[in-house]
Amino acid sequence: MTESTQTEPDGSVRRTTRDLSRAAVSGWLGTAMEFMDFQLYSLAAAIVFNKIFFPDVSPAIGLIAAMATYGVGYVARLVGAVYFGRMGDRIGRKKVLFLTIMLMGGSTTLIGVLPPYQVIGIAAPILLVVLRLVQGFGAGAEIAGATVMLAEYAPVKRRGLIASLAALGTNSGTLAASGLWAVLLAVLPDEQLLSWGWRLPFLLSFVLLLLGVWMRSNLKESPVFEERPDVVEGVALSRNEIKKSGEHSLGAGLRQSKGKAFLLTLGLRFGQAGNSGLVQTFLVGYIATNLLVSKSVPTTAIVYGSLLGFATVPLVGMLGDRFGRRPVYLAMTALTIVLAVPMMATIAAGHTVALSVAMVVGLNIGVLGLFSLESVTMAEMFGSRNRFTQLAVAKEIGGVLATAIGPVLAATLTAVTGHWWPIAAMLIAYSLITFAAAYFSPETRGRDLVRLEDAV
């Protein structure tokens, strides 16, 4: 333990309400910054990057190239999840969260000062890809680290509510980035937007970087990490060191078969991630292209749904604290399954108000509500020795398999069938996977997070 650590008579590490508040704000800010950075980049890739960094090719090829630079970030996220997850389990959560926010904020700010293709030629898109990789590398462990820190800081009876703040950060960041771009597109002519206006959102992220660095430099380490029996002087013992120590309680944690908890949490992740890719990404284009409804209708519905999410996310967190994670998971996934066909039938009818309401409901139940539960349940499923690594990797693999691939599969199936039913079928399939994972999972509410072994 560090010299500043204060312990109770029973050996537990003491944290004040002020420490908890600082951890909560830090977790929310880091997650908000992660999703703001990625949303800023995705919108810029769709709107201006093809003209700024790929001007010597056709508009269609330029857009493909710009979106490809967006996609490489997902590869970097998985690498970052493995690298920083292992580091966080080895030397502590605080140190890693400081590094991830520096990487995310620094790379995002530097994108705002990149010279265009006309100035430095091919070096411009190369530097853009490099910064995108760095951004993704840091982001791969940010939300996992923030979730772990919040869960490990929170009082047992309010763990679901406190951990849900990480999910709230996603709303905050996405809305902030979308709002910034909406203002720029409304007030700047194309010439000014392409010459200097596009840089402003990236440069403004430097303010969040400074705030985040200040917050995390004053953040105390997770009390659970400091209480871990395999941590000596702030560093976790290796497997060989534990074996040499002959400590029976530590050896028992190492002998547990790994993999079952990971597969179950991957299943829990699949529903939220898959539904998110369909509702927040694919449906926007499907409604505009296939139903010939203005793109502003679904995008506005997403904004309203995200705003409602500021109530939904903590409410679901509190329900999980009150009734347990497992029954709330089963209820929300079952509700998503039941509503999938009526929701898609309503959307396909093309009536603006009904369509918007259906999207708001689907977003809050099948995406944001599940995200709130996911934030705490995944942390509780894993033992403290490998919690950061397993949680981060499960999140990123689930994101690649469901969020990234889902919209492509949905586009293919709707094009082949000419109907909306494949979207409903995919929503049902994703939710069934999570329903099954929740059914076979143990109840984790109130679990001692200091324990080294997984919940199963």
Inter-residue contact 389 to 301 (CB < 8 Å): no
Task: Give the pLDDT confidence score for residue 71 in this predicted structure.
Answer: 63
Inter-residue contact 140 to 389 (CB < 8 Å): no
Which contacts (CB < 8 Å, 24+ apart) does range 178-186 have? 178/39, 178/43, 178/303, 180/40, 180/204, 181/40, 181/43, 181/44, 181/47, 185/47
Q: Tokens in use for 8?
A: 């109770």
pLDDT at residue 12 greater than cutoff 70: no
pLDDT, mean over the chain: 85
Percent of residues in the chain assigned helix, strand, coil, to nearest 5: 80, 0, 20
Measured from the Cβ of residue 229, the count of other Cβ atoms closer than 10 Å reads: 17
> What is the pLDDT averaged over residues 304-318?
93
Backbone angles phi, psi at 231, to 5 degrees: -105, 125
pLDDT-derived band at 376, boundaries 50, 70, 90: very high
Three-class DSSP category at 235? strand
* DSSP β-bridge partners for residue 7: 13
Fold (CATH) for 258-440: Growth Hormone; Chain: A; (1.20.1250)
What does DSSP assign to residue 231? E
Task: Give the pLDDT confidence score for residue 61 in this predicted structure.
Answer: 63
In 93-218, which ranges are continuous DSSP H helix? 93-111, 117-120, 123-139, 142-153, 159-187, 190-192, 199-217
CATH 1.20.1250.20: which residues of the chain? 17-222, 258-440
Fold (CATH) for 17-222: Growth Hormone; Chain: A; (1.20.1250)
pLDDT at residue 249 greater than cutoff 80: no
| More confidently predicted of 178 and 235 | 235
Task: Give the pLDDT confidence score for residue 320 in this predicted structure.
Answer: 96
Least confident of 13-17, 276-280, 421-425: 13-17
pLDDT at residue 325 greater than cutoff 70: yes
Three-class DSSP category at 7? strand
Least confident of 77-81, 396-400, 421-425: 396-400
| More confidently predicted of 173 and 358 | 358
pLDDT-derived band at 339, boundaries 50, 70, 90: very high
Inter-residue contact 132 to 68 (CB < 8 Å): no
Task: Give the pLDDT confidence score for residue 2 in this predicted structure.
Answer: 41
